[in-house]
Structure 1
Amino acid sequence: MPKQATPIRFEAKLHRPAEPRNATWTFLVLPQAASTKLPTRAMTSVEGTLGDAPFAATLEPDGQGSHWLKVPDKLREAAGVEAGDMVTLEIRPSEQQLESPVPKELRDALKAHPAAKATWDASTTVARRDWIAWMTQGKKAETRGKRLAAMMDMLEHGKKRVCCFDRSGIAGKNFSAPEAAE
């Protein structure tokens, strides 16, 4: 039986994002001291509690060497907290990384490219998550489209991991926490 990681306990302020203006979800940024106890500066899956509400989620890098957590309405309501509240969390790294939702355009492209789909299916959860992040981090639709085409080509040629992708967002500035509405 694998050894369970030591829980990481901390408090953080729950924020509502500035964009989109009608967002109902909330988020929090982990304190640097809590984030440094995680195994990576990149996306990483955790499990734990927000207040007394259990959850499992993938933390995203904030581009500053820490992580942020998107708190869906259901979790926020289960914890009995609101935007602006200081919340208590206890987390630990998950033994298995969670799969990222696959965007529709990527699902469609994989259906149209069986060789790429075979490589995709043979890749690890973390590699698939990196591919999705690399593709979706493009700010313009044109950039995302070019990356999707390049992804299909690379996967069709057996490449299981995206190259030269800053998984922490520190050097490439490709990840950041949402801006808080104040």
Structure 2
Amino acid sequence: MEGKGWTFITMPKAASEKLPKRGRIAIQGTINGFAFKTSAFPDGEGSHQFMVNGTMRAGAKAAVGDTATFIIETAGDAVEFEVPDYLNAALKKSVKASAQWVKITPKAKAEWATWITSSKKEETRTARVAKTIERLAKGDKRPSE
């Protein structure tokens, strides 16, 4: 089948054992030598699945049902950002907000920092820091919640 839609691939359990058991994991590798990046998800049965789209199939010169050679590794999902000193100072004053800050993902932290630092006026930044501390203390994970 040559369709342009997605094909689901279930990874062997031995390969899945090397990946986290919960949530999305960024992966990269090759299919028949064709390089790709995508995400794998636990399937609830001890393995992971990921989707192969038409572009990936064409690049790998593989059709649905063909046998293909996969090389897969985790891909860096790192997010680089700076936490402003004034946000760090505010976090130190709130035990609940600090505890939530430790729990959230680096991407979520970057969203909070960007939301705060993207304001042009200092009074807006100050208000956003206060709102961030309030919302983190209530358990919010992202500014868009």
TM-score (norm 2): 0.53
Q: 1:31 to 1:127 in 2, by over 3 A?
A: farther
Note closer, same or farther for the CA distance 1:78–1:156 as it changes in structure 2 (3 Å cut).
Answer: farther
Alignment partner for residue 80 of structure 1, among 46, 61, 66?
A: 61
Give, in whole Å, the separation in 2 of the partners of 1:79 and 1:91.
Answer: 14
Aligned twin of 1:26: 7
- The residue number in structure 2 matching 1:57 is 38
Indicate how the Cα distance of structure 1 residues 63 and 51 shifts in structure 2: closer, same or farther if over 3 A, else same. Answer: same
Alpha-carbon distance in structure 1 between the residues aligned to 2:137 and 2:30: 41
Contact 1:29 1:69 in 2 (8 A): yes
Aligned alpha-carbon RMSD (Å): 3.4
Report the residue type matching 1:74 in the other structure.
Answer: T
- Runs of at least 4 residues off by over 3 Å: 125-128, 154-158
- Note closer, same or farther for the CA distance 1:23–1:125 as it changes in structure 2 (3 Å cut): farther
Deviation at 1:155, TM superposition (A): 7.5
Structure 1 residue 37 displacement after superposition = 1.9
List runs of 5+ in structure 1 lacking aligned partners. Answer: 1-14, 17-21, 99-122, 129-153, 162-182
| Native 8 Å contact 1:48 1:89 kept in 2 | yes
**Count of residue pairs brought into register by the alignment:** 93
Q: Structure 2: any 5+ residue segments left out of the alignment? A: 80-103, 110-134
Structure having the larger proportion of residues in helix = 2
Change (3 A) 1:71 1:156: farther
Distance in 1, matches of 2:17 and 2:55, equals 28
Question: 1:124, CA displacement in angstroms?
Answer: 2.7
Alignment correspondent of 2:132: none
1:33-68 deviation per Cα after TM superposition (whole angstroms, max 9, x unaligned): 111122x01221111111111011110111112100
Normalised TM-score (structure 1): 0.43
For residue 41 of structure 1, the aligned residue among 16, 21, 33 is 21
Cα pair distance change 1:83/1:127, threshold 3 Å:
farther
Distance 1:160 1:61, change over 3 A: same
